[in-house]
């Protein structure tokens, strides 16, 4: 029996997120993904809202984008997911880290890919969801220039990879569209720059200046390519305005929780959101 048949028997059309490592990032960030669609459709619904996602894993962010489309764009739009769904961590620097070992196993066994396939098939039929399995570095140059309203970057978090994903994505964003990403726990002006440089191949480390854990590769690459960016709890975004990339305001945004999240992730998102609500600009 195939993986897909088994998942269909066990879960029917219910998405699978009640398993370990299904939601990798801080759950609160998905509120901002949904709000991004609210922001882009505030003036008018769009006939053809195109979203490109780099790094889909089990599909948690894919389903959050889709929820934004359902709520604010009459369930219309297209989501293209780019992911290699194959082991990618540099095990010379990450071998002892629990979450890395779990991710590598789920990728190497194709469990991650099959859960993504199952989850993406639960979307409404009015939302076209296609996936391209391969390395973003090879796939992004093949995609249509100035075509996407949203390009979301959440693939490999090592510096060289994030830098290339941002550089290759910038040309894909249409006028007034946004480039955004996950896991900007600290911006470069907030952390120890020398340590960020030294650890830029590592996924997640502690910043000695703030004591916070962060992704030095994301922090450095975002700062180099875009400078200081709009950011809410680690979800970052900039809007294309002619030749410039401008910050975005989400003030007044509706607060919507991802309906595909299990209860513990909703609780975590709510509590985190309450802590930062007053500072949203």
Ligand X SMILES: C[S@@+](CC[C@H](N)C(=O)[O-])C[C@H]1O[C@@H](n2cnc3c(N)ncnc32)[C@H](O)[C@@H]1O
- Give me the residues that bind ligand X (CB under 6 A), please: 24-25, 55-58, 60-61, 82-85, 88, 107, 135-137, 154-156, 161
Q: Give phi and psi for 181, each to the nearest 5.
A: -170, 175
Closer residue to ligand X in complex, CB, 77/234: 234
Query: What would the two tokens of residue 138 be?
Result: 């090879």
Closer residue to ligand X in complex, CB, 44/100: 100
Closer residue to ligand X in complex, CB, 117/193: 117
C-alpha 240/C-alpha 245 separation (Å) is 5
Q: How near is the Cβ of 10 to ligand X at its closest, in Å?
A: 20
Class of residue 211 by CB neighbours under 10 A (exposed 0-12, middle 13-18, buried 19+): exposed
Closer residue to ligand X in complex, CB, 22/250: 22
Q: How near is the Cβ of 162 to ligand X at its closest, in Å?
A: 10
Q: How near is the Cβ of 161 to ligand X at its closest, in Å?
A: 6
Are 11 and 225 contacting, i.e. CB atoms less than 8 angstroms apart? no
Closer residue to ligand X in complex, CB, 83/207: 83
Q: How near is the Cβ of 28 to ligand X at its closest, in Å?
A: 12
C-alpha 124/C-alpha 244 separation (Å) is 35
Closer residue to ligand X in complex, CB, 47/98: 98
Task: Kindly report the number of other CB atoms within 10 A of residue 51's CB atom.
Answer: 27
Q: How near is the Cβ of 83 to ligand X at its closest, in Å?
A: 4
């Amino acid at each position: 029996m195939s993986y897909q048949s088994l998942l269909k028997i066990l879960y029917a059309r219910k998405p699978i997120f009640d398993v370990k490592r299904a939601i990798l990032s801080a759950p609160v960030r998905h509120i901002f993904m949904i709000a991004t669609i609210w922001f882009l459709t505030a003036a008018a619904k769009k006939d053809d809202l195109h979203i490109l996602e780099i790094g889909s894993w089990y599909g948690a962010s894919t389903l959050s984008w889709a929820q934004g489309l359902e709520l604010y764009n009459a369930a219309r739009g297209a989501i293209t997911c780019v992911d290699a769904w194959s082991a990618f961590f540099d095990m010379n620097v990450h071998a002892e880290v629990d979450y890395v070992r779990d991710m590598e196993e789920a990728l190497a066994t194709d469990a991650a890919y099959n859960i993504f396939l199952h989850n993406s098939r639960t979307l409404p039929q009015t939302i076209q969801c296609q996936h391209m399995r391969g390395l973003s570095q090879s796939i992004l140059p093949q995609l249509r220039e100035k075509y996407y309203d949203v390009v979301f970057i959440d693939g490999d978090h090592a510096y060289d990879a994030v830098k290339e994903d941002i550089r290759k994505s910038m040309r894909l964003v249409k006028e007034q569209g946004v480039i955004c990403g996950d896991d900007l726990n600290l911006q470069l002006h907030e952390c120890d720059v020398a340590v960020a440089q030294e650890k830029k191949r590592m996924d997640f480390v502690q910043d000695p200046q703030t004591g916070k854990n962060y992704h030095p590769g994301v922090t450095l690459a975002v700062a180099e390519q875009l400078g200081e960016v709009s950011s809410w709890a680690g979800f970052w975004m900039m809007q294309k305005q002619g030749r410039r990339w401008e910050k975005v305001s989400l003030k007044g945004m509706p607060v919507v929780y991802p309906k595909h999240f299990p209860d513990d992730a909703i609780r975590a998102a709510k509590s985190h959101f309450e802590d930062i609500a007053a500072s949203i600009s």
